[in-house]
Amino acid sequence: MRSLKLLFVSTSVGALGSGLGGGVELTLRNLAIALHQRGHSVTVVAPDGSKLESFSLVEIVGNLQTTAQSQGREAPITMPSNPVIGNLWSYVRQVQSCYDLILNFAYDWLPFYLTPFFTTPIAHLVSMGSLSDAMDQAILDVADSFPNTIAVHSHAQAQTFEMGFTYFNLQNGLDLSQYQFCLEAGDFLAWVGRIAPEKGLEDAVQAAAQTGLPLKIFGVIQDAAYWQQIQTDYPQAAMEWMGFLSTQELQKALGPAQALLMTPKWVEAFGNVAIEALACGVPVIAYRRGGPAEIIQSGYSGWLVEPDSVEELVQAIHKIPQISRTICHREAEMHYSLAALGDRAEAWFKLILQNEAID
Ligand code: UDP
């Protein structure tokens, strides 16, 4: 494939590096590295205050969007004054002719709505499952009018959209050189993610408490009231909030965990934290739904259990010694390397640009 000039347009719910963008922040960084390694040029445009080393970064001021997962299914589209998402896309409109392809990372209505008004093709990486009627319609319209331009992270995520559409399953990948394999497990369990109701932290807290193993919690506190409630409800649980760590610090602290517990209440689109744990050699115990159910092979790289069953989580925790940490690490290498991600991304871009003589 000839080298492409790519413009990445970040999420508009938080600055890159803040943690508010969830997995999108790491996904964007890894895709940028994977594509840069293949000779493509990547420029990133993101909200003011963003941090992203080694890439040309254009920062745009404005007020952040509210996260889609905190709104109801019938919620109308809202826009703050001086919206950063509007400002991002005004900038993109002005520079679009300098790029071969624009890649949208925002789970927001506006970039989908604007797609037909642009002359440079826009690829949309949809990072969450179906959450609102307005977004469903916007995604469907683009999928119909611009074939191949929608990618998702898992089949389960795509299936949450009732009116099916054609999608590319990009999955995800990691810069594995940033994760150290840790053969020896310590005596704690880990939970990693945004602390917000859809992530179901309370189930992991209960399961860990029942086994007597302490639970180390890593991630940004997105919903302070929810976090407070968990502490009130389970005062005896041995849990420790470790803060929101950089990838480097996170993998170091996560490596010795006996297992990662993934207890989301929603259909997790992918779950970057699952492959980060595998990269460190940490088995994953997850509910059997959404992305984690497509990543984890039960009995091999962890255990998949009945969704919302704390009892089954506890049973799985007792079976952690049956899982080989070496196999977990190998799973990450086989399926979730930057090379694997880059292969998939290029295959997706070829589909989008097939009429534009890029080979
Ligand atoms: N994360 C991090 N530091 C932490 C905890 C989490 O960088 O201390 C990152 C983690 O690497 C992952 C993201 O937060 O990329 C969570 O993404 P995931 O796909 O699991 O869930 P999302 O937040 O997108 O729903």
123 in the same domain as 61: yes
254 within 8 A of 162, measured Cβ to Cβ: no
- The share of the chain scoring above pLDDT 90, in percent, equals 96
Does the pLDDT at position 241 exceed 70? Answer: yes
202 in the same domain as 341: no
135 in the same domain as 53: yes
Q: Ligand 1 center to residue 249 CA distance, Å?
A: 13
Q: Is the CB of 290 under 6 A from ligand 1?
A: no
Residue nearest to atom 5 of ligand 1 (CA): 219
Q: Is the CB of 336 under 6 A from ligand 1?
A: no
Please give the average per-residue pLDDT across 274-296, as a whole number: 98
Q: Is the CB of 193 under 6 A from ligand 1?
A: yes
Q: Ligand 1 center to residue 193 CA distance, Å?
A: 5
CA distances from 284 to 63, 288, 300, 332 (A): 37, 11, 10, 12
Q: Please give the number of the atom of ligand 1 that sits closest to the Cα of 19.
A: 14
Domain that holds residue 97: 5-173+337-358
Q: CB neighbours (10 Å) of residue 281?
A: 27
d(CA 57, CA 341): 22
d(CA 332, CA 275): 6
Does the pLDDT at position 359 exceed 60? Answer: no
Q: Which residue has the higher pLDDT, 203 or 68?
A: 203
101 in the same domain as 111: yes
149 in the same domain as 78: yes
Q: Is the CB of 219 under 6 A from ligand 1?
A: yes
352 in the same domain as 254: no
Does the pLDDT at position 327 exceed 50? Answer: yes
- CB-based contacts of 249, cutoff 8 Å, min separation 6: none
Question: In what helix (H) or strand (E) does residue 86 lie, and over which residues does it extend?
Answer: helix 84-95
Does the pLDDT at position 355 exceed 70? Answer: no
Residue nearest to atom 3 of ligand 1 (CA): 245
Q: Ligand 1 center to residue 335 CA distance, Å?
A: 19
d(CA 134, CA 44): 27
100 in the same domain as 12: yes
Tokens of residue 94, six digits:
């002005």
Does the pLDDT at position 169 exceed 80? Answer: yes
Please give the average per-residue pLDDT across 160-166, as a whole number: 91
d(CA 108, CA 180): 35
191 in the same domain as 165: no
Q: Is the CB of 250 under 6 A from ligand 1?
A: yes
Give the residue carrying structure tokens 């990618």. 151
Q: Is the CB of 272 under 6 A from ligand 1?
A: yes
Nearest to 198 by CA among 128, 282, 296: 128
DSSP state of 116: G
- Prediction pTM value: 0.95
Structural domains counted in the chain: 2
Residue nearest to atom 1 of ligand 1 (CA): 219
Place 198 in a pLDDT band, splitting at 50, 70 and 90: very high
Q: Please give the number of the atom of ligand 1 that sits closest to the Cα of 270.
A: 19
Q: Ligand 1 center to residue 276 CA distance, Å?
A: 9
CATH number at residue 49: 3.40.50.2000
25 within 8 A of 17, measured Cβ to Cβ: yes
Could you tell which of 16, 25, 157 is best to mutate to test the pocket of ligand 1, judged by most ligand atoms within 8 Å of the CB? 25
User: H helices of 96-200, where?
Assistant: 109-114, 133-145, 155-159
Q: Is the CB of 295 under 6 A from ligand 1?
A: no
320 within 8 A of 292, measured Cβ to Cβ: no
Please give the average per-residue pLDDT across 53-71, as a whole number: 93
243 in the same domain as 156: no
Q: Is the CB of 247 under 6 A from ligand 1?
A: yes
Q: Ligand 1 center to residue 324 CA distance, Å?
A: 24
Q: Ligand 1 center to residue 21 CA distance, Å?
A: 8
341 in the same domain as 331: no
Place 41 in a pLDDT band, splitting at 50, 70 and 90: very high
DSSP state of 358: -
Could you tell which of 153, 192, 199, 201 is best to mutate to test the pocket of ligand 1, judged by most ligand atoms within 8 Å of the CB? 192
Q: pLDDT digit string (tens) for 69-84?
A: 888 899 999 999 999 9
Q: Is the CB of 271 under 6 A from ligand 1?
A: yes
Does the pLDDT at position 18 exceed 70? Answer: yes
292 in the same domain as 342: no
Could you tell which of 195, 199, 250 is best to mutate to test the pocket of ligand 1, judged by most ligand atoms within 8 Å of the CB? 250
Q: Are strands 302-305 and 56-60 parallel, antiparallel or unpaired?
A: unpaired
Tokens of residue 348, six digits:
């997706």
Q: Strand, helix or coil at 197?
A: helix
Burial label, 346 (beta-carbon count in 10 A; 0-12, 13-18, 19+)? middle
314 in the same domain as 188: yes
